[in-house]
Chain A
Amino acid sequence: MNAWAVIVAAGLGSYLLRVSMIGAADRFRPPARLDDAAGLVAPSAFAALAVSDIAGAALDGGALQASAPLTAAAVAVLAVARTGSAYAGMLAGLPTLWILTALTSA
């Protein structure tokens, strides 16, 4: 099996995962409780992805360098909580990361 075949097979398998539940949507109507649970997938996924990314960035350097992404994330949480704007996190968090990274790596 060469590289081309492996990539095609992996792509086909990934596609089947993507449409696995969608295809059954018309034939299978889940109970309300399962529908409610499906509504929690998004916030849970967002939290899991965010924590993985932030922790990954924090573990990239030493203890001092770890403070930059952690503080930037904390500033972003505060900014969003205070303003209610989803974009405030990026506007406050990224400059915080730049400044702290420059300070801790100096």
Chain B
Amino acid sequence: MISYTAYRREFGAGMRAMTPWLVGVAPFGLVIGVSAAQADIPALAGWLTGPLIYAGSAQVATIEMLDAGVAPLTVIVTVLVINVRLILYSAAMAAYWRGTPLWWRLLAGYLLIDPSFVVGIDRYAHAPDRRRAHAHYLGGAVVLWVTWLTAIAVGVTAGARVPAWLHLEFLIPLYLIGQIVPKSRQAVVRRAVLVAGAVALLCLGAPMHLGVVAAIVAGVAAGSLTRANSAPPSQDAHP
């Protein structure tokens, strides 16, 4: 059991670690809000894509397809295909959330999306105590959720705009570079990163985020192969 003070400190650290993402995703949330207000759907329904779907690209697809009168089943399937990467995130987090109460897993799972995954898994890999990492994840995930829904609401009601020349959306890849480069000193991770990046580049034109899914699968496969090839031979194999 960790103290309340330690829990609060970790929660705050998670919120601070999320800051670069907030700056990057808030303009995107505003844009989604504006597009929801302009689409031929109730404004409240557009905003509800935030708490219900909680994934920017899938929300954009939902709003645009509903506005264009696309068949409901097609919209739902499209959203699920875009969000299929969440299964991979879910699998990666499952090991860290094993043994936690059901309510925690249902809540933590609900908050799982690219930024909360990135901020959360980094702490899980390094935290001395799993409970501290839970607090860290929750701090980052909650502040992201509140910011995201607020940004969409502001976009829906005020149609606010952030100056385009700031390119704040570019903070996200820059932040990811900051996460990738130090970890790439390990050969296994470096191979996974290079292959995932190359496949993502090759699959740029792929619809519905499928390029990202293919890149993740290719990166994991390449890293695993590298690990298998570089593992020391077992004693059974070489008596």
Is chain B found bound to chain A in the same assembly?
yes
A residues at B contact (CB < 8 Å): 1, 3-15, 17-26, 29-30, 33, 35-57, 59, 69, 72-73, 76-77, 80-81, 84-90, 93-94, 97-98, 101
Cβ B215 vs Cβ A47 within 8 A: yes
Q: A45-B118, A47-B192 are in contact. List 14 more A-B contacts (CB 8 A).
A: A3-B66, A6-B76, A18-B90, A22-B105, A22-B108, A25-B95, A35-B95, A40-B189, A40-B192, A43-B180, A44-B192, A48-B199, A73-B174, A80-B177
Q: How far, in whole Å, are A94 and B218 apart by their CA atoms in the complex?
A: 30
Cβ A98 vs Cβ B75 within 8 A: no
Query: 5 nearest interchain CB pairs?
Result: A11-B52, A44-B219, A86-B178, A48-B215, A19-B109
B204 within 8 A of A: yes
Shortest Cβ gap from A100 to chain B (Å):
11
Cβ A93 vs Cβ B170 within 8 A: yes
Cβ B118 vs Cβ A10 within 8 A: no
Q: How far, in whole Å, are A54 and B218 apart by their CA atoms in the complex?
A: 19
Cβ A45 vs Cβ B173 within 8 A: no
Residue among A19, A49, A53, A54 with the most chain B CB within 10 A?
A49
Evaluate whether A22 and B90 lie within 8 angstroms (CB atoms) in the complex, with A41-B220, A44-B219, A47-B180 already known. Answer: yes
Q: How far, in whole Å, are A101 and B165 apart by their CA atoms in the complex?
A: 8
B residues at A contact (CB < 8 Å): 20, 41-42, 45, 48-49, 51-55, 58, 62, 66, 72, 75-76, 79-80, 83-95, 97-99, 105-106, 108-110, 112, 114, 117-118, 121-122, 125, 165-167, 169-184, 188-189, 192-197, 199-201, 204, 211-212, 215-216, 218-220, 223-224, 227
Chain B residue nearest to A23 in the complex (CB): B105
Chain A residue nearest to B193 in the complex (CB): A47
